[in-house]
């Protein structure tokens, strides 16, 4: 594919994705059709199916881009602490809070949480470990799943409280809880 065609294809994907999310602001996700997405993006169905198989495919690809964006916020060369990763997680979603609200209203957060769970091993490879026993056992898998579940539930509560706290306050709440729970 030459550079011009690549740019056109990329732009078409962006227009289609944006069209879906614009439609989600006024329509229930389950009622949105491919035809509506095509009309909104001003692209043909043929162009749509060249890039996506369904509206769920649009979401899956958008979620992968979000995961890549979150991962890019984390340092690559050195391990990161759980609290630093948690802080980055809250910062990331604060930056994307309108999208987060839209996903919650559309009841699509479980989909992104499932994808996060699938990516958990890759993300958690970056966490620093001080306990060698947990590093070499299945316990690490379960500990990371527990941590992600906790972060996601904090996220849900944050949305329900109209995102009234800053990411720093959420991280501080987490630190306070962990300090009291681990005594």
Distance CA 67, CA 176 (A): 27
* C-alpha of 166 from chain center: 18
- Among 58, 84, 61, 60, which Cα is nearest to 73's? 84
Residues 6+ apart with CB under 8 A from 131: none
Planar angle of CA 16, 22, 25, nearest 5 degrees: 145
Average per-residue pLDDT for the chain: 86
Position with higher pLDDT, 6 vs 154: 154
pTM, full prediction: 0.82
Contact 140, 134 (CB under 8 A): yes
Q: How many alpha carbons lie under 13 Å from residue 21 in its C-beta half-sphere?
A: 18
Position with higher pLDDT, 180 vs 120: 180
When pLDDT is averaged across residues 17-29 and rounded to a whole number, the result is 96
pLDDT greater than 80 at residue 25: yes
- Among 84, 81, 93, which Cα is nearest to 165's? 93
**Buried/exposed 8-32: b ≥16 CB within 10 Å, e otherwise:** eeeebbebbbebbbebbeeeebeeb
Helix (H, G, I), strand (E, B) or coil at 2: coil
Tokens at residue 102, please? Answer: 């839209």
pLDDT, one tens digit per residue, over 92-145 is 999 999 999 999 999 998 888 888 888 777 766 666 555 554 555 677 777 778
Contact 71, 48 (CB under 8 A): no
Lowest mean pLDDT among 58-62, 134-138, 160-164: 134-138
Position with higher pLDDT, 35 vs 76: 35
When pLDDT is averaged across residues 49-68 and rounded to a whole number, the result is 93
Helix (H, G, I), strand (E, B) or coil at 140: helix
**Dihedral pair phi/psi, residue 17, rounded to 5°:** -60, -45
Distance CA 112, CA 151 (A): 13
């Amino acid at each position: 594919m030459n550079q011009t065609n690549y740019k056109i294809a990329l732009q078409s994907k962006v227009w289609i994705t944006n069209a879906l999310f614009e439609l989600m602001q006024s329509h229930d996700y389950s009622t949105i059709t491919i035809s509506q997405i095509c009309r909104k993006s001003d692209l043909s169905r043929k162009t749509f199916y060249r890039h996506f198989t369904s509206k769920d495919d649009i979401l899956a690809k958008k979620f992968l881009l979000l995961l890549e964006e979150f991962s890019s916020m984390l340092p690559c060369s050195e391990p990161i602490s759980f609290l630093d990763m948690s802080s980055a997680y809250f910062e990331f979603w604060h930056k994307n809070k309108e999208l987060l609200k839209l996903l919650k209203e559309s009841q699509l957060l479980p989909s992104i949480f499932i994808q996060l769970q699938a990516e958990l091993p890759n993300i958690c490879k970056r966490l620093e470990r001080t306990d060698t026993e947990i590093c070499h056992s299945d316990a690490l898998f379960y500990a990371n799943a527990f941590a992600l579940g906790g972060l996601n539930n904090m996220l849900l509560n944050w949305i329900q409280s109209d995102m009234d706290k800053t990411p720093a306050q959420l991280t501080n709440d987490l630190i306070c809880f962990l300090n009291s729970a681990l005594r």
